[in-house]
């Protein structure tokens, strides 16, 4: 490692973090939020007593969980323009930006994973809680929003956060669409300056530091917020 060129990293820090990391973080946070909302709705559908609703949600979740993320990224990259044309009634496929396409993909894909987490979260709330809430005269929406879901979120918070760290790592796969996320920026600098070794090692170190700190934080929060029963 004698010829390790720190200068190339130093020169490209602005591009790597202001362009690349901002893209990665924006994509992670937005698709985590969207995925969690959609995932919770899917979980409610899966647990619903209406057979059609639970079958459709179950099929969607199982289908997406059986496919590799890269394949799903390609699917939506080509499909979204056609869906856009269909929605707006345009005669030609609508061109959407790379970021929008990636955001839609990750939201829909992660929703399947968040759904499974939320489903077990909802099931982890004892039946007696629902019964007690009903006995107090709460209606179904109130039972769900003030009693069941808050406890489900709390029980599942560590798993949800860990899944978000996984999502953060998975966003690097937008590389296959040549988007400039953090890894994409590192690859572009590496190829421009012929410094593959330096840039890939640096990218690995940055991802490691972020993910390791985040997972330690999750562990700490888990200890702090554990409900004593």
Partner 1 sequence: MNYYWNWSIFFEPSPYGNLYIFTLLNGLVWTIFTALLAWTLALVVGTLIGVARTTSSRWLRILGTIYVEFFRNIPLLVQMFLWYFVVPEVLPKTLGDAMKQIAPPWGIFIPAFLCLGFYTASRVAEQVRAGIESLPVGQRMAGTALGMKPTQVYRYVLLPASFRIVLPPLTSELLNLIKNTSVAFTIGLMELVGAARSMQEFSFQVFESFAAATSLYLVLNLVVVMATSWLERSVAVPGFMGSSTTSKSKKTGNSTVNEVAP
Binding to partner 1, residues 102-131 (CB under 8 A) = none
**Tokens 């796969």 identify what position?**
173
Q: Contact 26/182 with Cβ under 8 angstroms?
A: no
- Residue 69 vs 144, nearer CB to partner 1: 69
Query: Helix 69-88 to helix 98-124 angle, to the nearest 10 degrees?
Result: 110
| Cα–Cα distance for residue pair 72/190, rounded to 1 Å | 27
At closest approach, how far in Å is the CB of 86 from partner 1?
Answer: 6
Residue in 166, 148, 149, 177 with CA at minimum distance from that of residue 112: 166
Query: Helix 98-124 to helix 149-170 angle, to the nearest 10 degrees?
Result: 140
| Cα–Cα distance for residue pair 116/54, rounded to 1 Å | 13
- Residue 149 vs 199, nearer CB to partner 1: 199
At closest approach, how far in Å is the CB of 168 from partner 1?
Answer: 8
**Piece of the chain touching partner 1 by CB under 8 A; list 27-35, 43-51, 106-114, 210-218:** 210-218
At closest approach, how far in Å is the CB of 39 from partner 1?
Answer: 18
Q: Contact 135/60 with Cβ under 8 angstroms?
A: no
- Residue 115 vs 203, nearer CB to partner 1: 203
Would you count residue 172 as binding partner 1 (CB under 8 A)? yes
Among 176, 217, 221, 226, interactor with partner 1 by CB under 8 A? 176
Instruction: Give me the residues that bind partner 1 (CB under 8 A), please.
Output: 1, 63, 66-71, 74-75, 78-79, 82, 85-86, 91-92, 169-170, 172-173, 175-176, 183, 187, 196-197, 200-201, 203-204, 207-208, 211-212, 215
């Amino acid at each position: 490692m004698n010829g390790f060129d720190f200068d190339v990293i130093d020169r490209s820090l602005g591009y790597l973090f202001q362009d690349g990391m901002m893209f990665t973080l924006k994509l992670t946070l937005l698709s985590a939020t969207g995925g969690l909302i959609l995932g919770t709705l899917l979980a409610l559908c899966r647990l619903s007593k209406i057979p059609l609703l639970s079958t459709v949600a179950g099929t969607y979740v199982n289908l997406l969980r059986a496919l590799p993320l890269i394949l799903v990224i390609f699917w939506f990259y080509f499909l979204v323009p056609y869906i856009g044309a269909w929605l707006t009634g345009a005669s030609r496929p609508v061109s959407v930006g790379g970021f929008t396409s990636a955001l839609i993909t990750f939201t829909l894909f992660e929703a399947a994973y968040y759904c499974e987490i939320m489903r077990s979260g909802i099931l982890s709330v004892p039946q007696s809680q629902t019964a007690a809430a009903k006995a107090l005269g709460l209606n179904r929406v109130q039972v769900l929003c003030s009693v069941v879901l808050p406890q489900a979120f709390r029980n599942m918070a560590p798993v949800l956060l860990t899944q978000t760290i996984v999502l953060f790592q998975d966003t690097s796969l937008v590389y296959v669409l040549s988007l400039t996320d953090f890894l994409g920026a590192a690859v572009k600098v590496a190829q421009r300056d012929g410094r593959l070794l330096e840039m890939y090692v640096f990218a690995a170190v940055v991802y490691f530091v972020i993910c390791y700190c985040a997972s330690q934080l999750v562990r700490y929060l888990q200890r702090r917020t554990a409900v004593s029963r």
